A and B are shown apart, each in its own frame.
Chain A
């Protein structure tokens, strides 16, 4: 209670903390959910797990397309979980970096013979992605950023998108997630991405996406989260699966390299 009061006082004193010079520590920052509740949630069941196992697991084992094969008839879970952390990854067939969701579509089209693969925004594609990340929980994020020119190009482009100021408020991703790191925005501490930035402890967020958003009661992928952030920041929303989005995903995921995958995460 005392902690919350301190934060409130600071909020009133500064008007808006984003323009004040005081940096608030993570312990002082208010949580949208009380710590006891958060612990209970984390030790219990995250509804995203139900979604991953029941919806995603069922799709994983369901035969589809002209070949009448399911994902499980070719892929063993033991082998799959080793590669999930390496996406977005360079794909020689299209000479580009593709996200795991696009890889699912590619496999559906080429190997299963499905005429219309699940769309990127569809619940089915999200379910399959969540299931793959769910079985890979405990493995490390390990994306490649420099093995060939295409990957390097995507990485640099992702960094450019991250730092490019756009929209009616002239904000970039980096305005909040790098430059304002450690400040409080709408009662939440702004954590920089990555393990550490300028001595401030960051968040390896890419490791726990896709996540179950408590405010929306559904599982959201990292690209959909980017879109929601863009629309709230007054930017033009980039389409899912575009070069910009995949590059941004690659850049953000590379900041979480070495972190343990804990998906689906429990997010606000």
Chain B
């Protein structure tokens, strides 16, 4: 099941070739698999993001490998140069096979 996620472009107004900051948050529990459930005493199964990929238009512009050591609801932020009008797509994949996709349109 896809998780809830959000993308914001900072600042909101930009011109062509401006550096803009892309802020993303995904609501993900990021379980490491090392924590015990207080009531049942059993280990909570690992559930964490393994990769984040960023596509600008057709091109994959960056990617990230993520492990269970990252905190819950990870906030990831990076800069891009707004060179063209194209959709910016971010894909989060986790170790349980869940894929979350979110798209914003970059308009210059």
A residues neighboring B (CB under 8 Å): 40-41, 43-47, 49-51, 53-55, 217
Asked if B73 is at the interface of the complex by the 8 Å CB criterion, the answer is yes
Q: Measured between alpha carbons, how far is A43 from B23 in the docked complex, in Å?
A: 9
A-contact bits for B2-44, CB 8 A (1 contact / 0 none): 0011101010000000000001111101000000000000000
With A45-B25, A47-B25 already in contact, 5 other A-B pairs whose C-beta atoms are closer than 8 Å: A41-B75, A44-B25, A45-B24, A53-B6, A217-B72
**7 closest Cβ pairs, A-B complex:** A54-B4, A217-B72, A47-B73, A44-B23, A45-B25, A50-B6, A45-B23
Q: How many residues of B contact A (CB 8 A)?
A: 16
Number of cross-chain contacts by CB at 8 Å: 42
What is the predominant secondary structure among interface residues of chain A facing chain B? helix
Which of A40, A41, A45, A49 has the most B CB atoms < 10 Å from its CB? A45
**Which one, A45, A54, A55, contacts B75 given CB within 8 A?**
A45
Smallest distance from the beta carbon of A13 to chain B beta carbons, Å? Answer: 34
- Secondary structure class of chain B's binding surface, majority of residues: strand
Docked complex Cα distance between A40 and B75 (Å): 10
Contacts of B75 in A (CB 8 A): 41, 44-45, 47
Given contacts A41-B75, A217-B72, contact A50 B5 (CB under 8 A): yes
- Minimum CB–CB distance for B36 against chain A, Å: 17
* Distance between A42 CB and nearest chain B CB, rounded to angstroms: 11
A119-B8 Cα distance, complex, nearest whole Å = 32
In the complex the two chains form, is A54's CB within 8 Å of B77's CB? Answer: no
Q: Are A40 and B6 in contact (CB under 8 A)?
A: no
B4–A45 touching, CB < 8 Å: no
For this complex, 12 residue pairs linking A to B, each with C-beta atoms less than 8 Å apart, are A41-B75, A44-B23, A44-B75, A44-B77, A45-B24, A50-B6, A50-B26, A50-B27, A51-B27, A53-B6, A54-B27, A217-B29
